[in-house]
Structure 1
Amino acid sequence: MAFNDTLVVSSDGNPIDVLRACPVLDKPAARLLAERLFPGAALEEIGDLLLADALDPPRDVVYVGCYAGLDLVSSWTLTPQRPSQLDPVVHAATGRRQTLLHAAHGDAAWCSFGLWRDGALVRALSVCTDPGVLEDTGERLPFEADAPHDPAGLGDRALQALMGFSCAGHDRLDDVDPELIPVVAYRVTGAAVSTAS
């Protein structure tokens, strides 16, 4: 699995419970979500993938998965450097109660994650080796306790805690298996969504 990843998950309950159950993909709902995320853009469906292969998409591609109780999106176009700058269109696209963001880039030695409940930002952290902490908003989450702001290690812990699996491939018995979760790929042209950097 790639060290680079970008993932936004919106859910009504615990996303790990939904993902662990190997949810069934709702392709019509995935198409509608992609249209909401990229209003006015041309969307070309280019195939299905598994989440394990969809964490580091090309710039002009978005991977979308919609399931009962949960929606997920993998798109660098939608990923800000600071989680608090996540485009409001992302929150509005699903209307679900909780949103989680996780992103990491190995070459840049950078990771970030964010948590929103009922539209309110609860936690946002963005950190890289140089210049260091870019954003640190809200109280630390349990998995951050006594943890140094090391981008690689923190990013992996955050992915495990928030999404239920690890890019390091720890393969715990109760891990989510991203190789069993299908998503749809769309090539996006003429996107009107702006990203913060």
Structure 2
Amino acid sequence: MTVTAWAGLTAEFCRERFGACASWFGRRAYVAGGTGAVAWARMGAKTALLVFADGDAAGALRDAAEFDRVATTELVARLLPGLELVAIEDGSLERNVNPSNGLLYAGVFRGLTIICAAELGEIQPCFVRPGWLAEGAGRRVVLHSMHSASDFLAFAVWGEDGSLERSLCVSPDQGIVEDRGDRLPFELAYWAGRHPVDDDDEDEEPYPLPFHPLELGEDALAALCGFVVEGWPPDGMPDVARVPLAGFRLRAPTVTLERSHGRPIAQPSPLDVGSQVGQLGAGLDFLILDMGGENYLQAAAGGRSDIPAGIFRVERREGDSDLHFRCDVESLEDVAEIFRGYLANQDGWGDREWKQVWV
């Protein structure tokens, strides 16, 4: 019998026998090694999860049996302002903790909010949208993003005051990408070298990290959220198959914020735009607010190309290359005012000394 077939039988058997623990038993494939030792193989540990909690997320998750549909729909509309959303069949935290592109699952519960979105997959904590984090104001915010195909792991915790307490992003290809704040108790043994990656093939290069990201990822998920995808179930683990989530299909964005570093932000909020403008010249070289159809606004920091240092160059195009205009401003506040006004189509946003240019 193949590993895949055995894993499938195990999942079906364990769901009948072990309930909540089936998410651990049913996703392990056990294979007899050459020495008779038993090894396990992951069948797909993936998460794209953001949680807001009043205190302990694990405790709130145990009581998350029914979400507020109206509040959930309103939340998603705020996350992606102006985007057309289509409600689809409800899902669960177990099945939809890593949604496909174009889908989003969420639930607003008493003391707990859950968001699962492809946008949160393989994301550095520093790139999580400020507009999404702002929805967790006054609450503990947890990000967990893990992908078994690339051995990618990122997690982060923000306090009730919005300050970052801990963030980590690692993968074997890129190494330690982000490592901020004091390490949490569940991490310490990994950094101390007590969870090395065993490599039975002496001809292969050693694993480039002192631990396997997915092993740490499961412990992080258990400690921060009270459940696991494939790890050993923590005591009192809730049955995440019984935690419902509202499903939404996302239509194509009408606005996209592109930036010199980081993935594009679809349907950005004013807070998202303002935060990215604030990084021009300090991490970002340029921003483009693309409205589609040759309509866009872009800005670049000075000191590069033909832009004088200390200047920010803003350009807009109005549907045709012959309608391309430029102005230079001296402060990020000016750039932010222009971008926010353009996004909201406010009167007077373009009251600047624009010069028509041909490009």
Same fold (TM over 0.5): yes
The corresponding residue for 2:190 is 147
- Shift of residue 124 of structure 1? 0.5
- Alpha-carbon displacement from aligned partner over 1:2-57 (angstroms, at most 9, x marks no partner): 41111100112111110012332111111011001111111000110111001110
Residue aligned with 2:135, SS: helix
The corresponding residue for 1:102 is 144
- Alpha-carbon displacement from aligned partner over 1:135-161 (angstroms, at most 9, x marks no partner): 000000111012144211111111111
- Shift of residue 61 of structure 1? 0.4
The corresponding residue for 2:218 is 156
The corresponding residue for 2:40 is none
TM-score, structure 1 normalization: 0.92
Whether contact under 8 Å (2:49, 2:97) holds in the other structure is: yes
The corresponding residue for 2:82 is 40
RMSD value over aligned CA atoms? 1.8
Residue aligned with 2:101, SS: coil
- Shift of residue 99 of structure 1? 0.6
Question: In structure 1, how many angstroms separate the alpha carbons of the residues matched to 2:256 and 2:122?
Answer: 12
The corresponding residue for 1:122 is 165
Question: In structure 2, how many angstroms separate the alpha carbons of the residues matched to 1:139 and 1:145?
Answer: 10
- Shift of residue 93 of structure 1? 2.5
- Alpha-carbon displacement from aligned partner over 1:33-87 (angstroms, at most 9, x marks no partner): 1001111111000110111001110110000011011111001224562112211
Q: Does 1:112 align with 2:174?
A: no
Amino acid at match of 1:127: V
Q: 1:5 aligns with which of 20, 37, 47?
A: 47
Whether contact under 8 Å (1:78, 1:87) holds in the other structure is: no
Whether contact under 8 Å (2:122, 2:153) holds in the other structure is: no
Question: In structure 2, how many angstroms separate the alpha carbons of the residues matched to 1:28 and 1:81?
Answer: 28
Whether contact under 8 Å (2:142, 2:224) holds in the other structure is: yes
Give the count of matched residue pairs. 197
Residue aligned with 2:94, SS: helix
- Shift of residue 90 of structure 1? 0.6
TM-score, structure 2 normalization: 0.52
Residue aligned with 1:147, SS: helix
Unaligned runs of 5+ in 1: none
Question: In structure 1, how many angstroms separate the alpha carbons of the residues matched to 2:217 and 2:234?
Answer: 17
The corresponding residue for 2:338 is none
Aligned counterparts, 1:1-197, within 5 A: 2-79=44-121, 81-117=123-159, 118-148=161-191, 149-168=211-230, 170-191=232-253, 192=255, 196-197=262-263
- Shift of residue 167 of structure 1? 1.0
Whether contact under 8 Å (2:121, 2:147) holds in the other structure is: no
Higher deviation after alignment, 103-112 or 89-98: 89-98
Determine which structure has greater relative contact order: mean sequence separation of CA pairs < 8 Å that are 6+ residues apart, divided by chain length: 1
Question: In structure 1, how many angstroms separate the alpha carbons of the residues matched to 2:76 and 2:256?
Answer: 12
The alpha-carbon distance between structure 1 residues 71 and 63, as it changes in their structure 2 partners (threshold 3 A), is same
Higher deviation after alignment, 186-195 or 81-90: 186-195
The structure that has the greater radius of gyration is: 2
Residue aligned with 1:168, SS: coil
Whether contact under 8 Å (1:37, 1:90) holds in the other structure is: yes
Higher deviation after alignment, 20-29 or 175-184: 20-29
Structure 1 residue ranges (4+ consecutive) displaced by more than 6 angstroms after TM superposition: none
Question: In structure 2, how many angstroms separate the alpha carbons of the residues matched to 1:26 and 1:55?
Answer: 19
Question: In structure 1, how many angstroms separate the alpha carbons of the residues matched to 2:184 and 2:212?
Answer: 15
The alpha-carbon distance between structure 1 residues 80 and 166, as it changes in their structure 2 partners (threshold 3 A), is closer
Whether contact under 8 Å (1:33, 1:94) holds in the other structure is: no
Residue aligned with 2:216, SS: helix
Whether contact under 8 Å (1:80, 1:86) holds in the other structure is: no
